[in-house]
Amino acid sequence: MDVLEMTRRRHGEMVVVSIAGEVDADNAAKVRRCLDEAAATHGSRLVVDLSDLRFIDTTGLGVLVRLRAELSEREGTMALVAPDGQVLRRLRRTNLAPLFPIYDTLSQALA
């Protein structure tokens, strides 16, 4: 697997962006572009699936927080899929978890 893989797909009125691998300062701009394009092209209801993300640093967390704020200003929504693991622990340790609805599975987030 490459260090970073991203996919986008529509699910009804929502768009799901799946991010796998690692997000860090070296590729956070690429992640930001992908998420921005998804929100601009497909609407303001986003689900970011981090199930296959092995690592995210503070730069990557900042991308998520910034996008959430931008979507909120447009009355959009953003949910995360982050099952128990490194990503969820990092969200909790940085006190960012309360900013997002966080689900264990993609099917729960889409329900």
What pLDDT is attached to residue 2? 59
Backbone phi, then psi, for 41, in 5-degree steps?
Answer: -85, -40
What pLDDT is attached to residue 34? 96
Instruction: For residue 84, give both structure tokens.
Output: 């128990």
96 CB contacts (<8 Å, ≥6 apart)? Answer: 61, 64, 65
Backbone phi, then psi, for 16, in 5-degree steps?
Answer: -105, 125
pLDDT digits (tens, 9 = 90+) for 91-108: 999 999 999 999 999 999
What pLDDT is attached to residue 1? 46
The pTM assigned to this predicted structure is 0.94
What pLDDT is attached to residue 43? 76
What pLDDT is attached to residue 25? 95
Nearest Cα residue to 51 out of 90, 103, 9, 92: 103
pLDDT digits (tens, 9 = 90+) for 53-96: 999 999 999 999 999 999 999 999 999 999 989 999 999 999 99
